[in-house]
Amino acid sequence: MKRRFILLAFLLVGSLYGQNTMDMTNHSMGNMSKQDQSQQATKTENPPNKSLSYTPVITPNVGSLPWTMDGDVKVFHLIAEPIRREFAPGFWVNCWGYNGSSPGPSIEAVEGDTVRILVTNHLNEPTSVHWHGIILPNGMDGVSGLNQKAIPPGETFKYEFTLKQNGTFMYHPHSDEMVQIALGMMGFFIIHPKGGDDPHIDRDFAIFLHEWRVPMGAWTPVPFEMLDFNIFTFNSVLYPKIESLVTKMGDRVRIRLGNVMMNSHPIHLHGHEFLVTRRGAKRLPPAAQYSEVTVTVAPGETRDIEFIADNPGDWAFHCHKSHHTMNQMQHNLPNLTGINKEDIEKRIKQFFPEFMGLMNINGMGDMFEMYGSNKMDMGEKMSLPANLSPIGNPGPFGVIELGGMFTVLKVREGLTSYVDPGWYQHPKGTVAESISEDHNRHQMQKSNSPIQHEPIQEGAVSWFSKDQIEKEPKDVREMNWMQSKPEDSMGGHMQHTMDNMSNMNSHDQIQQNCN
């Protein structure tokens, strides 16, 4: 009989999977060459180049594409190729990309430049490159069969045109685009204004939104998935792999967002308001720019947002679709929230003695805490797939449950460089904390006073029929429908109280180390 295990990664509910259901034969990391692994090393931002007329773009975990000059022509070289991308520590995904990365390196040029882009195809099928949103000659637009012949495997094509615009643009294939884009072939094409930015930008970030279907334990995304994605990334990485957006107090910050996949993403910034300054190509005139805290980026669109980093702290920056900040979800599962699990677990253990217990009874927080705080051994060793995305990660106050499309904007006073400064040191009295037991008991007694409901008006319009209203218990709105108890959570809530003190001590130690 196949060895059974419980998956923490949102399988919850005691669904048992055979460990040998995923064929990993051709995907062993042990077979990776050093060159393959070096391609996946995190890119770091280049030091400022004072000779440039613009602030270079920072594409976290990616970087920008270098160029050479051939007379007055700026020459770039893109290489389309299969790659392996480490989405999170220990979680590798087989992708297609450019120059060892997905998304490909950002192309940066200046309005008025003539650019020559050499594209070499190291894929096993034809490809092309479309320069999304850029005004250029028709034969350079990159649609295979319509504007050009596709680039066969092993060949190099030349694209050359003069840049007539400025703004945030993208590049991606228009040859077998369903597969090639789904596997990670996209990148930014940034055209800086000829006269420089007005007002000046201090920190300029670029983040590509993407979504993937990667079955648990697998390495290769399903490229023909249309709706049921289970991995959502910023620049094809997950938290905590994604680099933080580090800024100094008072910096004027721009974040460029791009999307070429299936879903729209409402991207939300904590702690700041921002102006939406571009919707696609042209910069919006000041009267058309608008203040927001969330901006939606639809498929095929780019957005630029700008703000002054004037509120110190570690601020979440994430997609506001709640499933998009969770990793490697499984959807075809029964809902066990609030059930009484006592008899169910006994009956299951008659057939599977090693069964550890049902999860997701009181919510999913116990899973995040168990995985994110490394408490995976609950008396028995849990068996997990060999290639699994993280579920929760350690933070300064416990487990950070956000993942997927999530990173941290770090705003600091007194920085002398943009190296990641670590966790924010909160001034005394500015962190939410537990209140005393006596005060808490008093507040609970006040909040538990009987709720007075107004009687139902005769003749009131309701989606309940009159008979249903009469049958409805009068106290139905006051009932707690949960049959489960706090102690039914596996390892989460029972450990939470015990761990609070150690978590706070750890945070205090971090603060001391930072000092």
User: How far is Cα 373 from Cα 364, in angstroms, rounded to an integer?
Assistant: 14
Alpha-carbon distance of 189 to 207, in angstroms, equals: 12
pLDDT 10s digits, 116-126: 999 999 999 99
In a domain, 93, yes or no: yes
Q: CA 93 to CA 85: how far, in whole Å?
A: 5
Please tell me the least confidently modeled range out of 58-62, 176-180, 349-353, 472-476.
Answer: 472-476
Whether 446 maps to a domain, the answer reads no
pLDDT confidence of residue 353: 86
- The answer to whether residue 463 sits within a structural domain is no
Question: Are 206 and 125 in contact, with CB atoms under 8 Å apart?
Answer: no
In a domain, 244, yes or no: yes
**E strand or H helix at 290:** strand 290-292
Q: Percent of the chain at pLDDT above 90?
A: 56
Residue with the bigger pLDDT between 36 and 449: it is: 449
Q: Are 76 and 183 contained in the same domain?
A: yes
- Report the pLDDT value the prediction gives residue 497, as an integer from 0 to 100: 38
With a CB cutoff of 8 Å and minimum separation 6, the contacts of 322 are: none
Question: CA-CA distance, 457 to 461, in Å (whole number)?
Answer: 9
Domain boundary among 145, 165, 196: 196
Structure tokens at 398: 């416990």
Domain carrying residue 493: 200-331+384-427+480-515
Per residue in 464-492, pLDDT tens? 455 555 655 555 555 666 667 776 665 54
Whether residues 146 and 255 share a domain: the answer is: no
392-413 mean pLDDT: 92
Q: What percent of the chain has pLDDT over 70?
A: 71
The full DSSP string for 208-255 is: EEEEE---TT-SS--TT--S---EEEETTB-TTTSPPEEEETT-EEEE
Q: Which of 266-280, 306-320, 418-432, 490-504 has the lowest mean pLDDT?
A: 490-504
Rounded-to-integer distance, Cα 488 and Cα 494, Å? 9
Whether the CB-CB separation of 241 and 261 falls below 8 Å is answered with no
Top-confidence residue, 60 or 509:
60
Assess whether 505 and 419 both reside in one domain.
yes
Average pLDDT (29-48) is 39
On whether both 167 and 208 belong to a single domain, the answer is no
Residue 248 has pLDDT above 60, yes or no: yes
- The per-residue pLDDT for 449 is 57
- Per-residue CA distances from 428 to 61, 270, 412 (Å): 34, 21, 16
C-alpha–C-alpha distance, residues 8 and 186, integer Å: 32
**What pLDDT, on the 0 to 100 scale, is given for residue 357?**
76
- Inter-residue contact 95 to 102 (CB < 8 Å): yes
- Supply 278's token pair: 């571009």
Query: What residue type is assigned to position 375 of the chain?
Result: K
Q: Has residue 422 been placed in a domain?
A: yes
Q: Are 109 and 148 found together in one domain?
A: yes
pLDDT at site 10? 35
User: Are 223 and 114 contained in the same domain?
Assistant: no
Instruction: Answer yes or no: are the C-beta atoms of 274 and 229 closer than 8 Å.
Output: no
Sheet strands (E) in 313-365 = 313-319
Same domain, 160 and 74: yes
Q: 261 with 394, same domain?
A: yes
Is the CB of residue 306 less than 8 Å from the CB of residue 277?
Answer: yes
pLDDT value at residue 442: 65
| End residue of a domain, out of 196, 220, 246 | 196
- Please tell me the predicted confidence (pLDDT) of residue 76: 98
Report which of residues 374 and 365 the model is more confident about: 365
Query: 281-285, 343-347, 421-425, 445-449: which has the minimum mean pLDDT?
Result: 445-449
Q: Are 2 and 19 in contact (CB under 8 A)?
A: yes
Q: Structural domain tally of the chain?
A: 2
Please check whether residues 223 and 242 belong to one and the same domain.
yes
Task: Name the average pLDDT for the chain.
Answer: 81
pLDDT in the model for residue 39: 38
Q: Residue 152: give its domain's CATH number.
A: 2.60.40.420
- 65 pLDDT more than 90: yes
Q: Strand 393-395 vs strand 313-319: parallel, antiparallel, or unpaired?
A: unpaired
Residue 444 belongs to a domain: no
Q: Indicate whether 213 belongs to any domain.
A: yes
User: Do both 187 and 207 map to the same domain?
Assistant: no
Q: For residue 386, what are the CA distances in angstroms to 24, 307, 375, 483? A: 9, 42, 18, 36
For residues 305 and 292, the answer to whether their CB atoms sit within 8 Å is yes
Say yes or no to pLDDT of 500 above 50: no
Decide which of 143, 163, 196 is a domain's last residue. 196
Give, rounded to a whole angstrom, the gap between the first and last alpha carbons of the chain.
56
Same domain, 230 and 157: no
Give the lowest-confidence range in 12-16, 85-89, 311-315: 12-16
Q: Tell me the mean pLDDT in the region 272-299.
A: 96
Identify whether 337 is part of a domain.
no
Selection from 36, 35, 33, 69 nearest residue 51 by Cα: 69
User: 297 and 407 share a domain?
Assistant: yes
How far is residue 199's CA from residue 217's CA, in Å, rounded to a whole number?
48
